[in-house]
Amino acid sequence: MLLDRYGIQETHYEVLNVKEDANYTEIRAGYRSAALSLHPDKLLKTPETSSSDQTTGERFLRVQKAWEVLSDSSSRSSYDNELKSSRRDRDALAAEVAEDLSLHDMIAEDADEALELFYQCRCGDYFSIDSLELQKMGYSLFREGSNISILNVDTLPGSVILPCGSCSLKARLVLSTDDH
Ligand SMILES: [Zn+2]
């Protein structure tokens, strides 16, 4: 599983249910059985199609896309490089993210035009972000008394990485519809 900005993403290898070092023949076999399992004749009821809310059409496109990329040796090798580097980024980020926070955890303070959100880091300084920065990322804050929520729920769920003002730790502000 790969984490991207939006959550968890399946790799092309997982889509075809093959190992990452599979050879062409194995990949082709994986593609055939994945495509076959999505064949309309077999779809009457397959309860184990686990990938939650994907429709068969979406699933089929993913299988098709995975095959296109993995069946060609040059596109496969550039995809492998992408996988490697996004895993490196994810691991580097995970090592530095000290906490997951929700909007409720944040201390809010009015600052000029914006609303500033804080959370204390273990070093004593603060993770912080203001409503203008959040707006630039597509999240409009809505404040009602002491209750802060995200106005445009269509952007949810999402998350924003907040750096500490002093040390190298980061916090992840998780924005979800639960904040409503
Ligand atoms: Zn710190």
SS3 83: helix
In a domain, 81, yes or no: no
Ligand 1 centroid to residue 162 C-alpha, Å: 11
pLDDT in tens, 92-106: 877 788 889 999 999
Structure-token match 């809505």, residue found: 142
β-pair partners for 130: 116
- Say what the pLDDT of residue 173 is: 94
pLDDT in tens, 109-120: 988 788 999 999
- Say what the pLDDT of residue 56 is: 80
- Say what the pLDDT of residue 148 is: 86
Ligand 1 centroid to residue 131 C-alpha, Å: 21
Which residues line ion ligand 1, judged by CB < 5 Å?
A: 121, 123, 125, 164, 166-167, 169
- Say what the pLDDT of residue 178 is: 65
Ligand 1 centroid to residue 16 C-alpha, Å: 43
SS3 8: strand
- Say what the pLDDT of residue 98 is: 83
- Say what the pLDDT of residue 29 is: 97
Q: Is 77 left (phi over 0), alpha (psi -120 to 50) or beta?
A: alpha
SS3 100: strand
Q: How far is CA 25 from CA 15, 18, 66, in A?
A: 16, 11, 15
Task: Look up the domain containing 56 and give its range.
Answer: 2-71
41: domain CATH number?
1.10.287.110
In a domain, 90, yes or no: no
Ligand 1 centroid to residue 2 C-alpha, Å: 27
- Say what the pLDDT of residue 48 is: 52
Tally of domains in the chain: 2
168: domain CATH number?
3.10.660.10
- Say what the pLDDT of residue 39 is: 73
Q: How far apart are CA 48 and CA 46, in angstroms?
A: 6
Same domain for 167 and 121: yes
- Say what the pLDDT of residue 133 is: 93
Last residue of a domain, one of 52, 71, 90: 71
The parts of the chain modelled with pLDDT lower than 50 are 1-8, 49-51, 180
Ligand 1 centroid to residue 107 C-alpha, Å: 16
First to last CA, the chain: 29
In a domain, 62, yes or no: yes
In a domain, 80, yes or no: no
Is the pTM here over 0.75, yes or no?
Answer: no
Determine which helix (DSSP H) or strand (DSSP E) holds 19, and give its type and residue range.
none
Same domain for 104 and 171: yes
Same domain for 171 and 118: yes
SS3 176: coil
Ligand 1 centroid to residue 143 C-alpha, Å: 27
Residue 102, both tokens: 């929700």
Same domain for 103 and 66: no
- Say what the pLDDT of residue 1 is: 40
- Say what the pLDDT of residue 44 is: 53
Ligand 1 centroid to residue 14 C-alpha, Å: 37
For residue 141, count other CB atoms closer than 10 A to its CB: 20
Same domain for 132 and 66: no
